Amino acid sequence: MPRRNAKRSPRESASQTKRRQPWQECASNKHKKKRIVEGQPISSRKRPAKRHTAPCTTDPSVAVISSLVECFSDVEDPRIKRQRRHLLIDIIVIGMLAVMCNADGWKEIYLWGDANRQWLKTFLELPNGIPSRDTFRRTISRLNPEQFEGAFLRWLRGINRRIDGVIAIDGKTLRGSRRKDKDPLHIVSAWACEQHLTLGQRTVDGKSNEITAIPELLATLALKGAIVTIDAMGCQKNIAAQIVEAHGDYCLAVKDNQPTLAEDIAQSFTVALESDLKPPRYEEHSTHDKGHGRLETRHYYTMPVPKTLRTAHEWKGLKSIGMTITYRHVDADCDGEVRYYINSFDSDVKRFAKAVRGHWGIENSLHWVMDVTFREDASKIHKDHGGENVSWLRRLAITLIKRDTTIKDTIRGKRIRAGYNVEFLKQMLASIAESF
């Protein structure tokens, strides 16, 4: 039975009856549909990407993080937008700090971040907590290695305004990245010996491909006023010309890959050392080092380019040649080694000795540390760009730890201390912040 006392609403106009209700509006996805139903405004214009600003804090240890955030603001996020539960800069900063604190794998990075969640929240947003180890793996492995490297280099330029001295270029194979269907990664690095700083790197398929990677790496460096040292693999005419054109000097090792050049240099020094002419045409300098159970004696010789050097005109900027003789005494045993070099600077034996010894800085201060302290050869990270990007995190950690002056200890000792005590990590970062 109909209700007699029910009040009837006034008759609606035709325009009102035809008006579409919110839930009848067209929506491209369920999220837009929900906004329509809730009465929220919808704009067809794409919102600009949110740029992360540096955290505001008076803690001096966070100055390093603040500058890092600014440099990484332009790095493209490889993830799908609707699946971004964590900010890219949060993932990168946690990864960098965790590697400094003795974390060598994805799970260790996550565990360190989870253990230091409260401190990380003071300068990171962390909208959904600490990312999982799979999030670290997927995100860092898919980052563009050139953008990743470029952001770090922009940041490192804030620490070192000018790079001079010796820049050593050498390659290293990550043996743990070998797979049945894939050769291990081989990374060619440029190392500033005096600043203990990685200036750049390139990944190649094998050691034989270093010749193609070195020119690309040199093109990214400011070589003015520096001496570039490369082993015999990089002793190429085009590489020497590229260094000279960039207003730098070179000191290149010569071996059997340049047989005529090596033969002429050996013959020139043999004649000079056996000659009775006064004064001698060569310069000599010797050093004696004792340590690690052995005694090493090094003799350095330089001389201007002799007329008997048949291929001298093919090497741009060639001004002098060099030779080293090294004797190693271990207990009662003694062995010797002779090496030859070509230089683009005048005959200066002490400058030559500094360049030759400086080149071993990349072996002792970088490659050896990467293998022994960071266990890089044992690392199984290989998928996508993971091996290359994590290698950059390790090299960055070496640079930052070496710049720390709060305590006298080894790199491994400082990593362990920082992993156990976040206050020590803050002291390290505060010490590094003084360089900016």
Q: Could you tell me if residue 44 is inside a domain?
A: no
The Cα–Cα gap between 20 and 17 comes to 8
Instruction: Tell whether 270 and 361 lie within a shared domain.
Output: yes
Output helix, strand, coil percentages for the chain, rounded to the nearest 5. Answer: 45, 20, 35
With respect to residue 310, please indicate whether it lies within any of the assigned structural domains.
Answer: yes
**Torsions phi, psi for 339 (to 5 deg):** -135, 150
Any domain includes 273: yes
Does a cis peptide bond (omega within 30 degrees of 0) precede residue 2? no
Residue 157: the pLDDT is 67
Residues 305 and 240 grouped into a single domain: yes
Domain boundary among 320, 349, 371: 371
Question: Does any domain span residue 390?
Answer: no
- 382 found inside a domain: no
Q: What is the DSSP letter of 223?
A: -
Phi, psi of 288 (to 5 degrees): -135, 125
135 and 175 part of one domain: no
**Residue 222 and residue 322 in one domain:** yes
Asked whether residue 112 is domain-assigned, the answer is yes
Same domain, 115 and 193: no
Q: Which 3 state secondary structure label does DSSP give 197?
A: strand
Least Cα distance to 429 among 43, 128, 27, 55 occurs for 55
Instruction: With 0.85 as the threshold, say if the pTM is over it.
Output: no
192 with 127, same domain? no
Based on the fold, state whether residues 284 and 409 are members of the same structural domain.
Answer: no
Structural domains of the chain, count:
2
Domain of 418 in residue numbering reads as 60-143+404-433
Q: Is 135 helix (H, G, I), strand (E, B) or coil?
A: helix
Amino acid at 58: T
Residue 381 in any domain: the answer is no
Same domain for 223 and 298: yes
Query: 287 and 429 in one domain?
Result: no
Sequential DSSP letters for 330-397: ETTEEEEEEEEEEESS-S-HHHHHHHHHHHTHIIIIIIHHHHHTS-GGG----STTHHHHHHHHHHHH
Residues 220 and 342 in one domain: yes
In a shared domain, residues 95 and 193: no
List per-residue pLDDT tens for the chain, 436 residues long. Answer: 445 554 454 454 444 445 555 444 554 555 565 665 566 665 544 454 455 554 545 566 666 677 777 777 788 888 888 888 999 999 999 998 999 999 988 999 999 999 999 999 988 899 999 999 999 999 999 998 888 888 887 777 665 555 678 999 988 877 666 666 666 677 888 888 887 888 888 877 665 677 888 998 898 888 888 999 999 888 999 999 999 999 999 999 999 889 999 999 999 998 888 876 655 688 999 988 876 667 888 999 999 999 889 999 999 999 999 999 988 876 666 677 899 999 999 999 999 999 999 888 787 778 778 877 887 776 767 677 877 888 888 888 888 888 787 888 888 999 999 999 998 988 888 876 665 5
